[in-house]
Amino acid sequence: MSAKEQAWKDERQSLTQDLRDTQQELSLSKNEVMNLQKQSTQMKMEYESLQGNLQQLRDLLNTKEEQFRQVQKDHENLLLSQRRKEEKWREVVTASEAAAADSRMHADTLQQEVKHLDEALKQRELLIETLKQQLFHTKQDLNKVRDERQKLERDRACQARELAEARSHARRLEQTFQDKCKEAFESLRLSLVDSSSSSSLSVVPIAPEENATSL
């Protein structure tokens, strides 16, 4: 085996190894792209789920606010009713001073009603305080969901950049592989041309003078 053939053999083995390495890197890059696509799909599903939770929290917040407004309205109506009953009670007391027994009975009845109204007012105030606390916690939950959504959007953007970089790396590897193949084919072609030229030069024709001498 000549030195040139040995060099060509070594170069071919090197190119074959480079080809295998490039194919392996290309396969790894494709797997990485597929994994990133799966992660992007999973994050999209999580984002949609968070959007649904956010909408539910918004609906709950609207419901709580409506309940709070209704309780406030009922509270105001209750206060107005209490004031009216107290005014009515004063009028009845003033008008019933001549009939003390009836006035006392009526006053006792009104006092009982006032007590019930006071108890109801206390209950309404407790309910209002509870609704305020629930509204505060709901707003906190809404802020948490908003923060999680922003974090998810940032993660999705990062995943998109990584996916784009992986695709770009795969394209560069594929281009490098094609360039190396072209170089190998060109080197093979030149080697074949050199081999053909060497073979044609090795056949030396016999000169006419030498033929005459031999005769």
Q: What is the pLDDT of residues 61-90, one digit of tens each?
A: 999 999 999 999 998 999 999 889 888 888
128 lies in a domain?
A: yes
CATH number for the domain harbouring residue 154: 1.10.287.2610
Q: Half-sphere exposure (CA, 13 Å, Cβ side) for 183?
A: 13
pLDDT per position as a tens digit, 101-135: 666 777 688 888 888 888 888 898 898 888 889 88
Taking the whole predicted model, whether its pTM rises above 0.75 is answered as no
100 lies in a domain?
A: yes
Query: Both tokens of residue 178?
Result: 């094609």
Number of domains in the chain: 1
10 lies in a domain?
A: yes
C-alpha dist (Å) from residue 208 to 142, 212, 213:
107, 6, 9
